[in-house]
Structure 1
Amino acid sequence: MLKDFVKPDYSDADELKMRIKEERAHLTASQMKIKEAGLPVMVIFEGWNAAGKGALIGKVIRNIDPRFFRVATMDRQPSDEEKRYPFLYRFIKEIPEAGKFRFYDTCWMNEVVSGVIDGKLGEEEYKKKVHSINVFERQLCDNGYLVMKFFFHISKKEQKKRLDNLLDSKDTKWRVDDEDIRQNKNYDDCLDVFERYLEDTNESRTPWYIIDATDKKVAEFEVLRFLNQGIDIALTNQRMNVPILQNTFPMEKMKKLSDISLDDKVLTDEEYDEELEKLQKELRDLGNKVYRKKIPVIIAYEGWDAAGKGGNIKRITEALDPRDYVVEPIASPEPHEKARHYLWRFWTRLPKTGHITVFDRTWYGRVMVERLEGFCSENDWKRAYNEINEFEKELSDWGAVIIKFWVQIDKDTQLERFTDRQNTLEKQWKITDEDWRNRDKWDLYETAIDEMIEKTSTAFAPWYVLESVDKKYARIKALKIVIEQIKKRL
């Protein structure tokens, strides 16, 4: 792409000036359309050091109301704290809300190519990161984002001239570091790495736009022209359905809920107390090993209302050091969460290495509540099965232990517990009108749950059903599974 790049010809300076003015006006007019349509726009600037990315961002944002954009300046390499999260974590945190722009002064490309150039990133790790990037960029587009990627290209000679000019002034020499000098000296090697990365991530939905950055006016026009074209197309295509991808992950065979027997899944008080003490002690020891070995653990709970999720979670967390875990109760998304990719609020709640996060309800709301209550389109929830599997595969490849529980009871048991909550003063806070409304849709929910379990019980993140007519039985079973999965990872 870079080696075959042909510079555009804009020899008529007056015409170029006029066209820049038109594109600026076009972008200014587009921002209200973006806001009204709720289109989130990501504009990623990559390229050679000293190619003028920062200056160009400054020119572009002058055409936009400052309430509608933010600029994210990403460090070339993650901090020590950021290294304790998945590769994409620090970038995903920065994605924009619906109706707003986010401009990136370098993004995920820089970390990957720098790792290759420095010899710190091997072939397999490079391919893994590129795959993660392509998957997430596709997910962003499928979920209504416009992702525009620009690479600023200059020659070795031009880069050297700009670096020398910066070094000649005491007011600008601080802007040149050892990596800038090293990149110019090894220009051809860097070119090969850049070329490969651009080709590997040049997807039809998120193509690369190569910008000749030798002439700053030409660079500004080209960026504005392509950005305006992208916005116009995205606004036109916004309501089009996206293809549902075929599952490619190995799956675990699961029973339907109606085929799971709840009979004889009981423990006596004596059995329960004995098992609980023994298993909590074992989990406490494993929690210390997880912390020492820096293994992240994600425990996800879904289940019927009043099935006993809260008590089940409590018996697990009682065994853990309170400094090493967090319980995330997931309710309806807040406005700033609803305005982003639906997985964003879970990405930002992940544990760092050595810690445990327990989710009380999860990303599976997309294919249950949101599906049945009409909070997303049919295309959205049908697409989500594969997107969730991809999300969990990313976490598994990162090294996380992923344990997913469905807490199962029958309809009669739920009614008994609802009635008890309603008639017991200290339990009334646990029952809401929404719980009764959801109960009326039991059969619809059961169909959705069966499909969810069937399509997302992967080999790397299978579902475990906890029979919870007897809450004591379910608690002991959950502890045993958590212990077993952590031991397997260790």
Structure 2
Amino acid sequence: MLEKVDLSKNLSKKEYKEKKDELTPVLSQLQRDCKRLDIPVIIAFEGWEGGRKGILINKLIQALDPRGFKVYATDRETEDERMHPFLWRFWTKTPAKGRMAIFDKSWYRRVLDDSLEVEKMHEYSDEDYNEIVSFEQQLSDDGTIIIKFFLHISKKEQGKRLKQLDENQATKWMISEKSWRRHRMYQDYLVKYEEMFQRTDSDFAPWHIVEAEDENFAAVKIMSTVVETLSQAVADKLSSMHAEAKPQRMDVFSMDQSLKTSILAGVDLSKTIDKETYKTRLNELQNKIKVLHNEIYLQRIPVVLAFEGWDAGGKGGAIKRLTEKMDPRGYAVVPTASPNDIEKAHHYLWRFWNEFPKDGHIAIFDRTWYGRVMVERIEGFATEDEWTRAYKEMNDMELQLAHNGTVILKFWLHIDPDEQERRFNDRMANPEKQWKITDEDWRNRAKWHEYEIAVDDMLLKTSTSYAPWIVVEANSKYYARIKVLETVVHALEEALDQRAKKNKRSKK
């Protein structure tokens, strides 16, 4: 496709000025419209080295209010970014509603420059493309407008521009031996770009090829594309806001709940252990975790431990016993409350991406992203389309973490209604624990059956080989704590064993 693109297109200075003056006020107004309508926008620039991305980005933003956008140059990873999944640094930079994020090079570096580095070629595969498409799909489904530009120039023009930069003392720093090596590999990159278009061009995040040999033509095409895309986005948003109410759906048959598959119904909550056995086993396991914690740090294995469960199910107690002998510099406990205004302005997974651990560290979540399919589903904070879509989104997110080598364990601490009521009453009777009980806890209890259905759906749809749910029989706090610790010990030992085998193979 790229070889057939007509690169001779150009505009005179006069034509450029006329079109720029025509487009500038329109683009300025569209930025204000996007802010007013809470439409987040991502504009990503990719293309050949020497394509003058910086110059063309600068021409685009002249029409924009600088308070409403941010430009990110993502050519080189920081040390912190290298210690996270590759999409982490882009998730954390996704814009809030009504704002724009402009990327000078983007997540596509993973399948472009990186994949053609000889020492890294074996590391990149289909999963990278799958993760990229999932990333864009999730953002688009949440309302983000994604515009992707590819700045195209010929090999001859690229060589000319690289030479000009290399011979100028003021710009020589921009050119390295790697730049010339990539120029010599122009045809190899051409093949990779064609594959990239084929695999990632979609209706929700399309590619726009920009003939970039003439700077004036390229600048006008970029502005025109942004204006056209944002005009449609604003029109669509206004249409959806003013659309007539949909007619009520006809009643449909609903299967009796007793016929549906249930996980929780089969949990044996009578399991328990005596206090002396508990103390002995707790000490043994905590000492093991202390050692394993050091080893996963040395091997740079990241760990995510996610805790969910009924109110008063014992999450806090389990987390406390888990961390008592761990080095506090190597783990973080992340309590998850209702999202604040900043978090609400982003994709619902954004706040969790910001908390995921770097290599060798542990993140422990006290409540998690699964609130989307529990409290948000039941209380109506998420639409049916949103929470139904969330099962795949969360599975995809966890798969991306797993591809980075992250150990993921998800615990559901299960108790029965009688045990919950007893614990609620104990808290109310104890002045030191009254802070733990709220009116919301009682309201949630009244919806026990609804939550039970939601939890069963969650366990069935999101327990995977790479991020399993562990249902913990938690009527007995002693038994629950030991099961959690035993599960963590086993998972860390297995991860270390797999890493040792991998290291051994790599030395052969």
What TM-score do you get using the length of structure 2 for normalisation?
Answer: 0.89
The amino acid of 2:264's aligned partner reads L
Give the corresponding residue for 2:27: 27
Within 5 A, what are the aligned runs for 1:24-63? 24-63=24-63
The amino acid of 2:359's aligned partner reads T
- 2:360 and 2:16 map into 1 onto residues whose CA distance is 56
Please report how far the alpha carbon of residue 81 of structure 1 lies from its aligned counterpart in structure 2 after TM superposition.
2.9
Task: Note if contact 2:41-2:144 (Cα within 8 Å) is conserved in structure 1.
Answer: yes
Give the corresponding residue for 2:203: 204
Please report how far the alpha carbon of residue 127 of structure 1 lies from its aligned counterpart in structure 2 after TM superposition.
2.3
Give the corresponding residue for 2:18: 18
Please report how far the alpha carbon of residue 7 of structure 1 lies from its aligned counterpart in structure 2 after TM superposition.
4.2
- 2:234 and 2:338 map into 1 onto residues whose CA distance is 27
Pair 1:67 & 2:74 matched: no
Give the corresponding residue for 2:266: 259
The amino acid of 2:220's aligned partner reads F
The amino acid of 1:197's aligned partner reads M
- 1:303 and 1:135 map into 2 onto residues whose CA distance is 28
Give the corresponding residue for 1:272: 278
Residue of structure 1 aligned with 2:317, choices 311, 315, 327: 311
Within 5 A, what are the aligned runs for 1:368-407? 368-407=374-413
CA RMSD of aligned residues (A): 2.1
Residue of structure 2 aligned with 1:426, choices 406, 425, 432: 432
Task: Note if contact 2:51-2:158 (Cα within 8 Å) is conserved in structure 1.
Answer: yes
Pair 1:436 & 2:436 matched: no
Give the corresponding residue for 1:235: 234
Please report how far the alpha carbon of residue 36 of structure 1 lies from its aligned counterpart in structure 2 after TM superposition.
1.6
The runs of at least 4 consecutive aligned structure 1 residues that moved more than 4 Å come to 7-16
Stretch of structure 1 that moved more, 166-175 or 154-163:
166-175
The amino acid of 2:335's aligned partner reads P
- 1:36 and 1:230 map into 2 onto residues whose CA distance is 17
Please report how far the alpha carbon of residue 51 of structure 1 lies from its aligned counterpart in structure 2 after TM superposition.
1.2
- 1:414 and 1:131 map into 2 onto residues whose CA distance is 42
Give the corresponding residue for 1:248: none
Task: Note if contact 2:303-2:406 (Cα within 8 Å) is conserved in structure 1.
Answer: yes
- 1:449 and 1:71 map into 2 onto residues whose CA distance is 41
Pair 1:289 & 2:295 matched: yes
The amino acid of 1:44's aligned partner reads A
Residue of structure 2 aligned with 1:489, choices 474, 477, 495: 495
The amino acid of 1:24's aligned partner reads T
- 2:284 and 2:192 map into 1 onto residues whose CA distance is 55
Give the corresponding residue for 1:188: 187
Task: Note if contact 2:110-2:128 (Cα within 8 Å) is conserved in structure 1.
Answer: no
SS in 2 for 1:183: helix
The amino acid of 2:344's aligned partner reads K
Give the corresponding residue for 2:354: 348
Give the corresponding residue for 2:249: none
The amino acid of 1:135's aligned partner reads S
- 1:15 and 1:79 map into 2 onto residues whose CA distance is 42
Task: Note if contact 1:254-1:457 (Cα within 8 Å) is conserved in structure 2.
Answer: no
Residue of structure 2 aligned with 1:465, choices 468, 471, 487: 471
- 2:389 and 2:31 map into 1 onto residues whose CA distance is 29
The amino acid of 2:362's aligned partner reads I
Pair 1:162 & 2:164 matched: no
What TM-score do you get using the length of structure 1 for normalisation?
Answer: 0.92
Please report how far the alpha carbon of residue 29 of structure 1 lies from its aligned counterpart in structure 2 after TM superposition.
0.9
The amino acid of 1:488's aligned partner reads E
CA pair 309-11 structure 1, distance change in 2 beyond 3 A: closer
Please report how far the alpha carbon of residue 448 of structure 1 lies from its aligned counterpart in structure 2 after TM superposition.
0.9
CA pair 375-471 structure 1, distance change in 2 beyond 3 A: same
Stretch of structure 1 that moved more, 330-339 or 362-371:
330-339
SS in 1 for 2:124: helix
Give the corresponding residue for 1:250: none
Gaps of 5+ in 2: 242-259, 497-508
Task: Note if contact 1:254-1:453 (Cα within 8 Å) is conserved in structure 2.
Answer: no
Give the corresponding residue for 1:364: 370
Deviations 1:396-454 (A, max 9, x none): 12111111100111112212211221222111111112212212222211111111111
Please report how far the alpha carbon of residue 75 of structure 1 lies from its aligned counterpart in structure 2 after TM superposition.
2.4
SS in 2 for 1:144: coil
SS in 2 for 1:174: helix
Please report how far the alpha carbon of residue 262 of structure 1 lies from its aligned counterpart in structure 2 after TM superposition.
1.2
SS in 2 for 1:188: helix
Stretch of structure 1 that moved more, 285-294 or 95-104:
285-294
- 1:407 and 1:341 map into 2 onto residues whose CA distance is 27
The amino acid of 1:392's aligned partner reads E
* Pairs aligned (count): 477
CA pair 285-172 structure 1, distance change in 2 beyond 3 A: closer
Give the corresponding residue for 1:244: none
The amino acid of 1:147's aligned partner reads I
Please report how far the alpha carbon of residue 167 of structure 1 lies from its aligned counterpart in structure 2 after TM superposition.
3.3
Please report how far the alpha carbon of residue 332 of structure 1 lies from its aligned counterpart in structure 2 after TM superposition.
1.3
- 1:338 and 1:368 map into 2 onto residues whose CA distance is 17
- 1:126 and 1:22 map into 2 onto residues whose CA distance is 44
- 2:431 and 2:123 map into 1 onto residues whose CA distance is 59
CA pair 25-279 structure 1, distance change in 2 beyond 3 A: same
Deviations 1:194-217 (A, max 9, x none): 232232222232111110111111
Task: Note if contact 2:301-2:361 (Cα within 8 Å) is conserved in structure 1.
Answer: yes
SS in 1 for 2:2: coil
Please report how far the alpha carbon of residue 178 of structure 1 lies from its aligned counterpart in structure 2 after TM superposition.
2.6
SS in 1 for 2:3: coil
Give the corresponding residue for 2:501: none
Deviations 1:312-362 (A, max 9, x none): 001111132222211111111222222111111111111111111110000
Please report how far the alpha carbon of residue 10 of structure 1 lies from its aligned counterpart in structure 2 after TM superposition.
5.5
Residue of structure 2 aligned with 1:413, choices 412, 415, 419: 419
- 1:12 and 1:291 map into 2 onto residues whose CA distance is 59
